[in-house]
A = this chain, B = another copy of it.
Amino acid sequence: MENITTPQASAKVLNVDLQLCFALYSASLSMTKTYKPLLAKLKLTYPQYLVLLVLWEKDGVTVNSIGERLFSDSGTLTPLLKRLEKLGLIQRQRAIEDERKVIITLTEQGKLLQSQAADIHPQIACSTGCTLTELKELNSQLILLRTSLINKLVTP
């Protein structure tokens, strides 16, 4: 029977390698580093790539809807989207029916990038050293975890 209040147990719990948070954090950063050289060929950063993934699915959407999809807000997205605009990949224009909204649309160049990006995912999947089944399993576990954490945040 473990007693969490003993100094030994407390030290264990404070060991960085035993904390899921750190595994998550370092694995996420490693993943970003793995993407970096592949995305550099397309002159994209990893968060920019995520935004494009969302837009390739469906564009002509608001900043907010991208933010909901990616769990980020305008403070992050506005400058990021301006960089994508400067790269000529998207267009930003105020909605006519509600000028508070900014509609993000892919340019032809932005649409064309999709086919070039298609190579990336399989290469990453290979770098993980996991089988497709393992990847799917880990993916759904992480989504469950994320959902729990977010729910605890909203209603603590």
Contacts and interface: CB of A to CB of B under 8 A. Distances in A.
Interface in A1-45: 4, 10-11, 13-35
Given A26-B146, A139-B23, A149-B34, A53 B16 contact: yes
A153 B14 CA distance: 29
A128 interface: yes
Query: Main SS of the interface on chain A?
Result: helix
The size bracket of the interface on A is: 35 or more
Nearest to A118: B10
Given A4-B122, A121-B13, A127 B142 contact: no
Interface of A: 4, 10-11, 13-35, 46, 50, 53-54, 56-57, 69-72, 114, 117-118, 121-122, 124-130, 134-135, 138-139, 141-146, 148-153
21 contacts: A10-B118, A13-B118, A13-B122, A14-B56, A14-B117, A14-B118, A15-B57, A16-B70, A17-B143, A20-B31, A20-B124, A21-B46, A25-B46, A26-B142, A27-B142, A27-B146, A29-B72, A30-B149, A33-B149, A138-B142, A138-B145
